[in-house]
Amino acid sequence: MKSITVMLAAMLAAMAALGPARAAEPAPKPWWKGAVIYEIYPRSFQDSDGDGLGDLNGITRRLDYLADLGVDAIWLTPIYPSPQVDFGYDVSDYRAIDPRFGTMADFDRLVASAAKRHIRVVIDLVLNHTSDQHQWFKQSRRSRDDPKRDWYIWRDGRAGGPPNNWISIFGHSAWKYDALTKQYYLHQFMPEQPDLNWRNPAVETAMFDAARFWLDPGVTGFRLDAVTSIYEDPAFRDAKPTGGISNFGDPNQDRAMTDNLPEVHDVIKRLRKVADGYAGDRVLIGETYLPNVAELDKWYGTAGSNGGGDELTLPMDLQLGFADRLDAATLRVRIMDAETGIHRREPLYVFDNHDQRRSWDRLGDGAHNDAIAKVVATVLLASRDTAMMYYGEEIGMPTTDPARKEDVRDPNGMTGWPKEKGRDGSRTPMQWDAGLNAGFSLAAKTWLPVPASYAARNVAVEARDPASLLNWHKRLIALRRAYPALRDGDTRLVATGDTNVLAWVRRVAGRPAVLVACNVSAEAHTLRLAPDEAAGRARVLLASAEGTPGVDVAALALEPYGVFIGELAR
Ligand code: NOJ
C-alpha cells in the first residue's frame, strides 16, 4: 500500500499539471442559465405541405427567424403519434413521430439545423397518461389478468357508481367504466387519456427507455407534462370539496389525493440521473403549477448536481406570470420569492403557454396592451431567470376564442361550452405576414381560423417598425446577452414602497450596474430612488420613451406603462 505522503505528492503533481489558471477556473455555466426558451405549438407555427396544419419542416423553415429573435432553445409540444383528442397529449407511441407532423428524418433535420444556429430542441414527455389507443392500454383493457393490466389504474365501482368522487381536470368523473372487464379506469384528463400506474416499476422502465430513445440522438431534454400528478393516494380516498362549482359544472375539489404526492420526487431523482448521464447539460423542465414558492423549491431537489439540485433542472414558476393583472406589490413579492425561496437556483418565468389566455389581453387593459406587453417582456427578459416564451407572444398575438360551439376544437371547450370556451383561443396560427392565412399555410382552410388581427399585427409589419413589440423583445434579448449585469447580475428591488413602479438594479462585481424600471400603472409617474439604491446619470440602454440619451435616476419620469433600462455610472 502506498504511503499517504506518496499519494499526496502524486495528487499535487497532477494538480500542478493542470496549471494555476485551469485550477482556478469556475465550472462553466450550463447553457440554460439565463437562456431564452421558446415554446412552439407545432400545429400552429408553420405549415409546409399545405394541409392547414403546422409541421416539423415548417419549424425548420422558420429557424432563421428564431435565431434572429435570439432564442437558445425551442420546446415542442407533443409530436408523437396520437389520435389528437388532446392534440398530442394523448400519446399512442413514445418512439415515433406523428405523420401529420412529418417523419423521423424531418425531426433529425430540424434538430441538426437548429444546432447549426445554436438552438437546442426540448420535447414534451407525457408521463401521467397515454392515449387509450396506446398498445399498452389496449392490452391492459383486454382482461383483468393481462400482464399489462397493472400498468394502468383499474378499480371496482362503489355502490353502482365510480370507485370514488374524484373529478377529472377536464370535467366530470375521473373514472370511466369499461364494460369488457366490468371495472373503472382512472383518467385525470380526458377519458381517452388513461392514467398510468407509476407504482408499477415496469411503467418507469418503459418510460425511461422512451426518454433515452430521444436523448441518445441529441434531444436536449424534456418538458415533463403534468408531472405533479403522476401519483395518486394509494387508498383512493375521496377528495374534499372546496366549495364552488367549476367551469365544467362540477364541484371544486381539493387535489391533495391526486397532486404532489411525495413519491413523485423519487422518480424525478432517478430520471435526473438518466438525463445527467448524457453530456451537454440536458434539462428536465417541469409543468409545475404549485401554490407557493416553498412547494416550488422542493422540485429542484436537494443534493447538488449541475446547477444546484438533483430533481428538475427548471420547474416552471407559473406564479409570477399567471396573475390576472399587473400589480407592482404582487410582482415584487413574486420576484423576491424567486430570489430567496429557491436557494439561489434559477427561476423559470413563464407568462404565456398553450393552456392559458395570452398575456397580451389577459394583462392588457384594452387601451395600453402593447405598452403593457413591453412591461411583461421586460420582467421576463431583464430578470435573473431562464425565460420561457410562447410563439406569438413576441408580436402580441391576441387570444381569439371560437365564436360558436361548432367551431371549438379543444376538448375542454367542448365539455365546458359556453362557460369554458377552451384553449383554442391561444393556439391560433402564427401571424407571419399580411398574406394568405397570415403566411402560416397555403391551405384553403387552416385547422383553427387565423385571427382577423393578422392583417395589422404580424411579424413582417413589426419587423419594419423599430418601436414594435417584436423589436422590443429582440432588443431585450440582445441586451440580456451583451450586458454582464443583465446576464449574471444579482437582483435588488428598489423603491419598494412605490405602488406604481416596479424597479430593480442588477449588479455584477466589477461591471456597471443596470437599473430597470417599469411603470405598471396607467398614470405618468416619477420614480424616486434613494441615493443608496441608485444615483447619478444613467445611460439609456432601452426605453419606451425614445430620445433621452441619459437621465438623472433621482427623479425618473415614466409615461403610463413606460419602461426604462439604463446603465448606472456606479
Ligand atoms: C398539460 C398540457 O400543457 C395540456 O395541454 C394537456 O391538456 C394536459 N397537460 C394533459 O396532458
The proportion of the chain whose per-residue pLDDT surpasses 90, expressed as a percent, equals 89
Q: Is the CB of 90 under 6 A from ligand 1?
A: no
The more confident residue out of 476 and 18 is 476
* Centroid of ligand 1 to alpha carbon of 128 (angstroms): 10
Q: Is the CB of 190 under 6 A from ligand 1?
A: no
Residue 430 clears pLDDT 50, i.e. is over it: yes
Best CA proximity match to 296, nearest among 326, 319, 323: 319
- To test the pocket of ligand 1, the residue of 76, 77, 89, 357 to mutate (highest count of ligand atoms within 8 Å of its CB) is 89
Residue 494 clears pLDDT 90, i.e. is over it: yes
**Which has the minimum average pLDDT: 23-32, 192-201, 291-300?**
23-32
d(CA 375, CA 382): 10
Are the CB atoms for 517 and 551 separated by under 8 Å? no
Q: Is the CB of 311 under 6 A from ligand 1?
A: no
**Which has the minimum average pLDDT: 5-19, 110-124, 413-427?**
5-19
Best CA proximity match to 357, nearest among 399, 389, 404, 325: 399
- To test the pocket of ligand 1, the residue of 187, 189, 195 to mutate (highest count of ligand atoms within 8 Å of its CB) is 189
Protein residue with its CA nearest to atom 6 in ligand 1: 89
What count of other Cβ atoms lies within 10 Å of the Cβ of residue 343? 10
Residue 373 clears pLDDT 60, i.e. is over it: yes
Three-state secondary structure call for residue 479: helix
**Which has the minimum average pLDDT: 140-144, 494-498, 549-553?**
549-553
Half-sphere exposure of 465 (CA within 13 A, CB side): 14
| pLDDT value of position 8 | 40
Give the CA distances from residue 210 to residues 206, 272, 366, in Å, rounded to whole numbers and listed in that order.
6, 14, 45
* Centroid of ligand 1 to alpha carbon of 2 (angstroms): 59
Residue 396 clears pLDDT 80, i.e. is over it: yes
Across 284-292, average pLDDT: 96
Q: Is the CB of 300 under 6 A from ligand 1?
A: no
Across 61-72, average pLDDT: 98
Protein residue with its CA nearest to atom 11 in ligand 1: 89
C-alpha 288: how far from chain center? 9
Residue 9 clears pLDDT 50, i.e. is over it: no
Q: Is the CB of 250 under 6 A from ligand 1?
A: no
For residue 30, the 8-state DSSP code is P
pLDDT tens digit sequence for 505-533: 999 999 999 999 999 999 999 999 999 99
Tell me the DSSP string of 173-237: BSEEEETTTTEEEE-SS-TTSPBB-TTSHHHHHHHHHHHHHHHTTT--EEEEETGGGS---TT-P
Q: Give the chain's mean pLDDT.
A: 93
Q: Is the CB of 447 under 6 A from ligand 1?
A: no
Q: Which three cell numbers stand for residue 163?
A: 370507485
Residue 135 clears pLDDT 80, i.e. is over it: yes
| First-residue to last-residue Cα distance in the chain | 59
Is residue 115 very low, low, confident or very high in pLDDT (cuts 50, 70, 90)? Answer: very high
Give the CA distances from residue 116 to residues 67, 104, 113, 176, 280, in Å, rounded to whole numbers and listed in that order.
10, 18, 5, 47, 15
| pLDDT value of position 529 | 95
Entry pTM: 0.95
Secondary structure of 379-430 in the HEC alphabet?
HHHCCCCEEEEECCHHHCCCCCCCCCHHHCCCHHHHHHCCCCCCCHHHCCCC
| pLDDT value of position 304 | 59
Q: Is the CB of 189 under 6 A from ligand 1?
A: yes
* Centroid of ligand 1 to alpha carbon of 478 (angstroms): 32
| pLDDT value of position 222 | 98
Residue 497's contacts (CB-CB under 8 Å, 6 or more residues apart) are none
Ligand 1 atom with the shortest distance to the CA of 86: 7
| pLDDT value of position 154 | 98
d(CA 570, CA 557): 20
- To test the pocket of ligand 1, the residue of 134, 225, 288, 356 to mutate (highest count of ligand atoms within 8 Å of its CB) is 225
Across 306-331, average pLDDT: 89
For residue 149, the 8-state DSSP code is G
pLDDT tens digit sequence for 84-102: 999 999 999 999 999 999 9
C-alpha 147: how far from chain center? 36
Angle in degrees, 0-180, between the axes of helices 201-215 and 263-276, rounded to the nearest 10: 30
| pLDDT value of position 461 | 98
Burial class (CB in 10 A: 0-12, 13-18, 19+), 254: exposed
| pLDDT value of position 1 | 35
| pLDDT value of position 463 | 98
The more confident residue out of 167 and 536 is 167
Residue 6 clears pLDDT 60, i.e. is over it: no
Protein residue with its CA nearest to atom 4 in ligand 1: 355
d(CA 424, CA 408): 7
Q: Which three cell numbers stand for residue 468?
A: 414594435
Residue 197 clears pLDDT 70, i.e. is over it: yes
H helix runs in 465-569, sequence order: 469-482, 484-488
Active-site annotation, residues: 225, 287
| pLDDT value of position 549 | 67
Is residue 344 very low, low, confident or very high in pLDDT (cuts 50, 70, 90)? Answer: confident
Is residue 307 very low, low, confident or very high in pLDDT (cuts 50, 70, 90)? Answer: low
| pLDDT value of position 324 | 86
d(CA 214, CA 271): 13
Protein residue with its CA nearest to atom 2 in ligand 1: 225
Residue 411 clears pLDDT 50, i.e. is over it: yes
d(CA 139, CA 151): 10
